[in-house]
């Protein structure tokens, strides 16, 4: 009797545990930031998207597949040709997010492999499309512009498929050795040209400065000559004016008596051989003596 009761207890316990396990397996938790897809006997039920949280399903007949809707990052290496037929090797980083409202459609079409089935091929295609619009040199000099164009084209291509591109970056661009050597040679030539242009501009500026200095020196020398000539002219003019003033003063103070006295002072004591009252240059002794007597009487 005891054995039968023990067997029944064991069976009941097993059944209870099985029921508990069955009950627990009937609930699945959809993680935060994810969308749940209900799959019944391997078939996706139309419109059966589930929000984050715990959901019931029939064990062994149904399962809930969770699709992460948070931003995810994809890195891939790919190649393309530039506008000038240069091989471009690129390492790209794509940040994308599965749109919750499109999760059902994406899973129904591509399952959980939508990254490899949709995003990777689209990224390869966009890289080839954009690189064909730029020369290899432009891809280097306009890297940000080409990166923005790739992001916009990729986002436009994936949006209708239920995927949003949140960021796109070109981690690295690589080119053939011949092209890199050609670019380096061009850069060296450009640097030499700029250096020569700078030296030429410096020489021109120096020559212009020397020219201006020479002009200033010539102008200073000419001004000095002009000032000296003007000073000499002024000195001659002042000397002439002084001499004219002196002569004018002498002329104003000159009288007949002064002339006679001067002649008397300069007389050598010899009497002239010719006498007369009106003979030019003949000293009149009488007048001289009369003038002398008058002077003595005044004193």
What is the topology classification, in CATH, of domain 72-175? Tetrahydropterin Synthase; Chain A (3.30.479)
Q: How confident is the model at residue 295 (pLDDT cuts 50, 70, 90)?
A: very low
The DSSP line for 110-137 is HTT-HIIIIIHHHHHHHHHHHHTTS-HH
pTM: 0.54
- As a residue count, the chain comes to 299
Closest by CA to 70, choosing from 98, 104, 90, 107, is 98
Give the pLDDT confidence score for residue 274 in this predicted structure: 54
Closest by CA to 153, choosing from 189, 187, 122, is 122
Average pLDDT over residues 90-103: 92
Closest by CA to 149, choosing from 134, 164, 159, is 134
pLDDT digits (tens, 9 = 90+) for 127-185: 999 999 998 888 888 889 999 999 999 999 999 899 999 999 999 888 877 776 776 67
Give the pLDDT confidence score for residue 47 in this predicted structure: 63
- 10 versus 93: the higher-pLDDT residue is 93
Residues 143, 172 contacting (CB under 8 angstroms): no
Measuring CA to CA, how many Å separate 45 from each of 115, 125, 151, 175? 22, 32, 34, 49
DSSP bridge pairs for 27: 56
Q: How confident is the model at residue 186 (pLDDT cuts 50, 70, 90)?
A: confident
* Burial grade of 3 (CB within 10 A; 0-12, 13-18, 19 or more): exposed
């Amino acid at each position: 009797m005891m054995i039968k009761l023990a067997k029944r207890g064991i069976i009941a316990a097993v059944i209870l545990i099985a029921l508990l396990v069955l009950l627990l397996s009937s609930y699945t938790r959809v993680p935060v930031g994810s969308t749940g897809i209900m799959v019944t006997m391997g078939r996706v039920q139309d419109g059966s998207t589930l929000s984050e949280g715990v959901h019931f399903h029939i064990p062994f007949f149904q399962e809930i597949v969770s699709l992460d809707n948070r931003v995810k990052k994809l890195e891939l290496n790919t190649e393309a040709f530039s506008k000038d037929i240069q091989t471009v090797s690129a390492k790209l980083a794509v940040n994308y997010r599965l749109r919750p409202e499109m999760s059902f459609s994406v899973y129904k079409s591509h399952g959980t492999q939508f990254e490899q089935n949709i995003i990777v091929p689209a990224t390869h295609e966009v890289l080839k499309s954009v690189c064909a619009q730029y020369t290899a040199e432009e891809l280097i000099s306009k890297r940000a512009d080409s990166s923005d164009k790739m992001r916009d084209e990729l986002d436009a291509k994936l949006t209708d498929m239920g995927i949003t591109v949140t960021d796109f970056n070109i981690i690295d661009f690589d080119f053939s050795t011949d092209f890199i050597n050609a670019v380096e040679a061009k850069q060296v030539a450009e640097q030499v040209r700029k250096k020569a242009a700078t030296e030429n501009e410096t020489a021109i500026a120096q020559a212009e400065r020397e020219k201006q200095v020479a002009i200033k020196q010539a102008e200073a020398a000419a001004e000095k000559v002009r000032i000296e000539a003007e000073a000499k002219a002024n000195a001659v003019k002042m000397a002439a004016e002084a001499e004219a003033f002196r002569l004018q003063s002498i002329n104003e103070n000159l009288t007949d008596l002064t002339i006679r006295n001067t002649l008397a002072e300069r007389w050598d004591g010899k009497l002239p051989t010719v006498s007369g009252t009106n003979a030019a240059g003949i000293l009149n002794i009488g007048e001289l003596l009369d003038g002398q007597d008058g002077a003595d009487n005044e004193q």
